[in-house]
Chain A
Amino acid sequence: MELVLTKNFSLPESWTLAVYEKTGGYQAVRKALQMKPADVINEVKSSGLRGRGGAGFPAGMKWGFVPQNTGKPTYLCVNADESEPGTFKDRPILEKDPHRLIEGAMIASYAIQCHTAYIYIRGEFDLSLKRIEAAVQEAYRKGYLGKNIFGSGYDLEIYIHRGAGAYICGEETALIESLEGKRGYPRIKPPFPAVQGLFGCPTVVNNVETLSSVPFIIEKGAAAYKAIGTEKSPGAKLFSICGPVKKPGVYEVPLGTPLRTLIREYAGGMADGKVLKAVIPGGSSVPILTAQEVEEVNLDYESLQSKGSMLGSGGVIVIDEGYCIVRALMNLARFYAHESCGQCSPCREGTGWSYKILKRFEEGEGTEQDIDLLLDIGKKMTGMTVCVLADALAMPIASHIGKFREEFENHIGKSCPATS
């Protein structure tokens, strides 16, 4: 497979403009600027590229929703607020190939006729921040950003906006609120950002990986991109894999690749002495898969859905037999309780309550009724809130208990029997 996203990762000083240009960088944006914006959108629509942040919404369609001639400015927000546990796939793009992201953001900005783009980057990403800041400055110095880019008459400013440690700001409307100088409270939709987003203006929010896929699509054409992956899930995707495997890391694979191939071939299989128990395939919020299900599923939107899980962000968390599922769920509940923005009662209360119950389980004080209570709380959190953070815990609650109920039952009346 021709690499779309990682081809420069191993080059020395891959983050510099000189290296990026040597490998053909900034040619795609030159080509895009000679096309009509609508044709750029159509090319991305034809490629079938779906948003790589987790929700999987078709990228070209999102761009197409932006109304033109509203008399207001249009904005692009680059979502570099990667914070989903298990997901660390955007970090290497920011650190190793930031110019690819900038070029993708330029093409997207031109397509939606935006003249100001913000890169919202998670506050903890120190090296990523330095690299993307340096790359933006390099692009300005070369005249690739600012006024009259490549003599096309098109102007674009890109600014970096550093977050400050709130997971929820990766949700697109919370990101917008945060950028506006407020607490990161997700907004009720509609109106969708495409119509009323940043500063009340039409806005597109795209993930780092999504935008970094765009130069390839424009340079080589939608057909070349569609030739990778499956018919319904075209293209390549970055998967980050962690847990007790021999070679955890970030791998670019064509969509449709079997999950077992990612684990055994790319990640080198389980670490010595470890036996696979379960996998959370798409970032911590998606339903867990048993070892048996891991054998049967492919890494694409449809296959994972058919197993009741999701592709999500592509963050694959491998859990071994030595690790307790109750403890894993308790850990996730603590994360979601900590990161709930507090705006909606079912989430604010539900995540904290779930964590307290699970902590009780770990301490040997759980009861049979508590298992059903957890499931009940999860049901009452689902779909009852402004954003999906509540669902992001409810799904693991339902799937961890649904598939590993006996581990919860084994905890009743005794402290964790399988502490590793």
Chain B
Amino acid sequence: MKPNFTEKSEQKIQEALSHYPTRQAALLPVFWIAQEQFGWISQEVMELIAARLDLSPAHVYGVATFYTMLYKKPVGEYHLQVCRTLPCALMGSDSIIGHLKKRLGIEDGETTEDKKFTLTTVECLASCGTGPAMMVNEKYYEGLTAEKVDQILEKLK
């Protein structure tokens, strides 16, 4: 079945469209609305967005693939995005990433079999003074240690 926007999403889209003089400018807001509703941006969702905003599917695809926070494949219930850029690396992010891989039994970019956790290494979260840092869904966890990571995983289980 082809995806469709819910009434709630449609209201948000109308609101977003009112902020800009062109429909195309509402593309990023509509991506966020779509990701909130569907969990990720599939090709069918891209086609839905293209039709809604009078854009070509190719344009929508080109934009979606440019931005790392728009998921082009499904992610687990908890998406662990661990910063690996220099300030976090100076504070030991490499070992945090290694610890997470071991604990979850997955590699970077993979999802656990029970679809609970996805692990992704990302570039700079602007949490440099409190590194190593990771984002779980939309919440920041900072000053990570192996013990702290274990506690976070335990809470999320």
Contact = CB atoms under 8 A, between A and B. Distances in A.
B69 A123 contact: yes
Interface string B58-88: 0100110011111000000000000011110
Interface string B90-127: 11000000000000000000000000000000111111
Contacts of B138: 126
Given A127-B140, A181-B28, A240-B129, A335 B91 contact: no
Interface stretch (A26-34, A99-107, A159-167, A294-302): A159-167
A250 B126 CA distance: 12
Contacts of A123: 67, 69
Nearest to A331: B86
Contacts of A320: 90
State which size class the interface on B falls in: 35 or more
Given A319-B90, A323-B90, A165 B126 contact: no
A249 B31 CA distance: 33
B85 A335 contact: yes
Contact of A124 (B21, B89, B126, B131): B126
A87 B126 contact: yes
Given A181-B22, A199-B21, A163 B126 contact: no
A82 B31 CA distance: 21
B45 interface: no
A289 B114 CA distance: 48
A159 B19 contact: yes
A139 interface: no
Contacts of A21: none
Overall SS of chain B's interface:
mixed
A167 B68 CA distance: 10
A162 B138 CA distance: 13
Contacts of A248: 128-130
A7 interface: no
Nearest to B66: A183
Contact of A166 (B59, B68, B85, B125): B68
A82 B66 CA distance: 18
Interface residues of A, number: 55
Nearest to A317: B87
B27 interface: yes
Interface in A224-274: 240-244, 248-250
A83 B24 contact: no
Interface in B131-149: 131, 135, 138-140
A62 interface: no
B66 A181 contact: no
A249 B91 CA distance: 14
Interface in A294-319: 315, 317-319
Q: Which of B19, B63, B85, B140 has the most CB of A within 10 A?
A: B85
A242 B131 contact: yes
B123 A338 contact: yes
Nearest to B69: A165
Contacts of B67: 123, 163-166
Contacts of B28: 161-164, 178-179, 181
B128 A317 contact: yes
Interface in A42-101: 73, 82-88, 91
B15 to A, nearest CB: 10
Given A124-B135, A328-B86, A243 B91 contact: yes
Contacts of A179: 25, 28
A332 to B, nearest CB: 6
6 contacts: A82-B126, A85-B123, A181-B26, A183-B63, A243-B90, A319-B90
Given A85-B87, A199-B21, 13 more contacts: A86-B128, A88-B128, A124-B135, A161-B19, A161-B29, A164-B67, A166-B67, A181-B22, A181-B26, A182-B27, A248-B128, A328-B89, A331-B86
Interface of A: 73, 82-88, 91, 122-127, 159, 161-167, 178-184, 199, 240-244, 248-250, 284, 315, 317-320, 323, 327-328, 331-332, 334-335, 338-339, 341
